[in-house]
Each structure stands twice: as structure tokens, then as C-alpha cells.
A = this chain, B = another copy of it.
Amino acid sequence: MFSIGDLSKRTKVKIPTIRYYEEMGLLSAPERTEGNQRRYDAAGMERLSFIKHARDLGFSLEAISELIDLQGHPDRSCKAATDIATARLSEVRAKIKRLRALEKELNRISKGCNGDGVSEHCYVLASLADHELCRHEH
């Protein structure tokens, strides 16, 4: 049996976060010692690892909750789980696209100004004030 601190060290999820997941219903409430401290078994640890991994991949707690529910329904889990992962993939791709545009824009803005010397016209500030100077939509 693992204490919450053991779990935290092994999964690298902070203690208050573990308690938060329990409160949110992602982790089921574990056994307690006589003194009311949480004691987890291997299943609890696996569940937490699953959550951690999914969070690292950017799944929302809501999506993770769905994925966990699906684990109890092997008959229909595969299609639904793939849908969730695919949706997340589209989100990530859209985000990358947007960030690439921003990168170009920021690069242009911060390169426009040489940064030293006294100038009363700062290109960074001017670019932010005037959207017309942008070459992209965002």
C-alpha cells in the first residue's frame, strides 16, 4: 500500500493535485488508515499514471473522465477513444498552425527594432498599436 506521498513521488503528480483529482471524481476514494490517511493500491497508482500521461498529452480532465469511463466498456471503447484522441490531434494541429503565424509575426516585430540607441519611434510598440503593419491574420 502506498501513502499519498509515495504516489506523488512515483507518478510526479503533486499531492494537492492527487486530492483534487479525487474530489473531481477521476480517482476513486482510496482506503484510509485508522488515522484517516489515504492508502493506495496498485490499481490506484495505475489510474493516476493514466491520468498523468493523458494530462501531459494535453487532454482535459473532462476528456480523461470519458476515457476512464470507456475503460469499463470494452465493447464500444475503441471507436470512442479513437475519436477523442483524434479530436485532440486536430486541436494540436490547429494550435501549431496559429503559433507558426505568431512566430513569424513576433519575429518580424522584434527584428524591426535594433534595440539600442535612442529612438522615439519603437517598432515593437508601433506594430502592436497598428494592426495594419501586420502581414498576417491572427
Contacts and interface: CB of A to CB of B under 8 A. Distances in A.
A13 B3 CA distance: 48
A124 B57 contact: no
Contacts of A42: none
A36 interface: no
A29 interface: no
Interface in A55-75: 56-58, 67, 70-71, 74-75
Nearest to A103: B92
Interface in A72-101: 74-75, 77-79, 81-86, 88-89, 92-93, 95-96, 99-100
B82 A106 contact: no
A95 B100 CA distance: 10
A125 B67 contact: yes
A93 B100 CA distance: 8
A99 B102 contact: no
Contact of A102 (B46, B58, B82, B114): B58
Given A54-B128, A86-B110, A89-B103, 19 more contacts: A50-B129, A53-B129, A57-B102, A70-B125, A71-B125, A74-B119, A77-B122, A78-B117, A78-B118, A81-B122, A81-B125, A82-B122, A83-B115, A85-B106, A88-B106, A89-B106, A95-B99, A96-B103, A99-B99
